[in-house]
Amino acid sequence: MYTQALNAGAAERETPFVEDAGAAARFQARIDAEERIEPNDWMPAAYRKTLTRQISQHAHSEIVGMLPEGNWITRAPSLRRKAALLAKVQDECGHGLYLYAAAETLGTSREEMVDALLEGRAKYSSIFNYPTLTWADIGAIGWLVDGAAIMNQIPLCRCSYGPYARAMIRVCKEESFHQRQGYEIMLTLCRGTPEQKAMAQDALNRWWWPCLMMFGPPDSQSQHSDQSTKWKIKRFSNDELRQKFVDATVPQGHYLGLTFPDPDLRFNEETGHWEFGEIDWDEFRQVLAGNGPCNRERLAARRKAHEDGAWVRDAAAAYAEKRRARTEMKVAA
Ligand code: FAQ
């Protein structure tokens, strides 16, 4: 069934069909009626393109996102922490695989998407280009990075494209566990020795601003937002989700007894929101351009993993070929 969907996508890509206004209007009417779009349904080429872009970037983020935390698996402070971190990193891998599968239903193969990542043509989340310097960073990633990911992904469970929306339901459940394990690490450190609390504070200081950047450029500079909102891929704007995240997270930080590295952070009684200072968008642009603290290291690690795994892919392909030949022989007999 999966292959059928893929082939259908590929065939449609190759078929030169006219995108007449009627088809586009009927498509928009389905979206407005909250109908789900499925792989074999007609869709505008631009809808297919933007979803392939977003879902594949999301998949790459999950896979590259294994690296900063994977760095601490062998150095986790107890067996319990090691088991939880190992499970979390495996979950991220699973999320990447569901997402590549969801993106493939739009007609681009996983190989094409992975090549784009390895050749530096595809983006992945800026957040994974920062280093994990201490164990407290594992707490901060779970609490803040997974917290930001959940805030962004819960609305994606209602995205108009069926395979993406369905994948997001399971992903969000798992991210919720990740967020709690991160917060629990932070809580333990904050209730520990002064040195442990200082480690937690230092991690919050380093991860806070990059986490706010995860939500993407300000609405005024978000080139895809208007169209993606119209197509109900996006349900909230980048700035709306960023504000929701700040409002949810600041009280959690205060409960830990930590401070935020933002002198302009203050609660506005009238609006009921936490106001925050100016984000360094130049830093964000630099990270997207490949000049973040770990961009080169991350891509080098992914390329090495891909090369090291070549024999597994070859063996799987040879096994599949053997099974196919065996089935053909049985059918012929
Ligand atoms: N980093 O016009 P917009 C996770 C790009 S998963 C890098 O606003 P859009 C789980 C954007 O792609 C984290 N690039 O774009 C985990 C576009 O470039 P393009 C990933 C960014 O799509 C936890 C350009 O800027 N989550 O953390 C970023 O409407 C722990 C203009 O931007 C997702 O991918 C960025 N932060 O809105 C794993 C969620 N922001 O393509 C391991 C799905 C923007 O034109 C450990 N994605 N750009 O070359 C989305 O919701 C959206 O794509 C946004 C961006 C909100 C990220």
pLDDT at 10 over 60: no
pLDDT of residue 90: 97
Give the tens place of pLDDT for each residue, 302-324: 999 999 999 999 999 999 999 99
pLDDT of residue 96: 97
Q: What whole-number percentage of the chain has pLDDT above 90? A: 92
Q: How far is the CA of 120 from the centre of ligand 1 (A)?
A: 16
Please tell me the total count of domains within the chain.
2
pLDDT category, 9, cuts 50, 70, 90?
very low
Q: How far is the CA of 100 from the centre of ligand 1 (A)?
A: 15
pLDDT of residue 332: 85
Output the pTM of the full model.
Answer: 0.93
Q: Whose CA is nearest to atom 14 of ligand 1?
A: 125
**Could you tell me if 205 and 261 are in contact, meaning their C-beta atoms sit under 8 angstroms apart?**
yes
pLDDT at 17 over 60: no
- Structure token pair of residue 57: 């970037």
Any domain includes 237: yes
Q: Whose CA is nearest to atom 44 of ligand 1?
A: 216
Both 288 and 300 in one domain: the answer is no
Any domain includes 1: no
- The single residue listed with the structure tokens 């979950």 is 91
Q: What is the mean pLDDT of residues 45-61?
A: 98
Both 199 and 80 in one domain: the answer is yes
Q: How far is the CA of 54 from the centre of ligand 1 (A)?
A: 7
Q: Whose CA is nearest to atom 30 of ligand 1?
A: 146
Q: How far is the CA of 185 from the centre of ligand 1 (A)?
A: 27
Which phi-psi region, left, alpha or beta, contains residue 34 (left: φ > 0; alpha: ψ -120 to 50)?
Answer: left
Query: What residue ranges line ligand 1, CB within 6 angstroms?
Result: 53-54, 57-58, 61-62, 65, 92, 123, 125-126, 141, 145-146, 149, 152, 213-217, 222-225, 228, 238, 288
pLDDT category, 16, cuts 50, 70, 90?
very low
Q: How far is the CA of 111 from the centre of ligand 1 (A)?
A: 21
Any domain includes 14: no
Any domain includes 15: no
What is the domain range of residue 142?
21-292
Q: Whose CA is nearest to atom 18 of ligand 1?
A: 123
CA–CA distance, 246 with 53 (Å, rounded to integer): 27
Helix (H, G, I), strand (E, B) or coil at 42: coil
Q: How far is the CA of 267 from the centre of ligand 1 (A)?
A: 28
What single-letter DSSP state applies at residue 273? Answer: E
- Structure token pair of residue 46: 């631009």
Both 283 and 304 in one domain: the answer is no
Q: Beta partners for 267?
A: 274
pLDDT of residue 278: 97
Q: What whole-number percentage of the chain has pLDDT above 70? A: 95
Q: What is the mean pLDDT of residues 56-80?
A: 97
Residue 88 sits in a domain whose CATH number is: 1.20.1260.10
Among 52, 123, 177, 286, the mutation site with the greatest number of ligand 1 atoms within 8 A of its Cβ is: 123
pLDDT of residue 164: 98
Any domain includes 51: yes
Both 264 and 324 in one domain: the answer is no
Give the tens place of pLDDT for each residue, 233-290: 999 999 999 999 999 999 999 999 999 999 999 999 999 999 999 999 999 999 999 9
> Which residues have a Cβ under 8 Å from the Cβ of 136 and sit 6 or more positions away?
185, 186, 189, 196, 199, 200, 202, 203
Any domain includes 16: no
Q: Whose CA is nearest to atom 37 of ligand 1?
A: 216
pLDDT of residue 18: 59
Pick 7 or 173 by higher pLDDT: 173
Any domain includes 233: yes
pLDDT category, 21, cuts 50, 70, 90?
confident
CA–CA distance, 127 with 132 (Å, rounded to integer): 11
Name the average pLDDT for the chain: 94
Give the tens place of pLDDT for each residue, 156-209: 999 999 999 999 999 999 999 999 999 999 999 999 999 999 999 999 999 999
Both 157 and 172 in one domain: the answer is yes
**Could you tell me if 331 and 146 are in contact, meaning their C-beta atoms sit under 8 angstroms apart?**
no
Any domain includes 12: no
Q: How far is the CA of 63 from the centre of ligand 1 (A)?
A: 14
Both 259 and 286 in one domain: the answer is yes
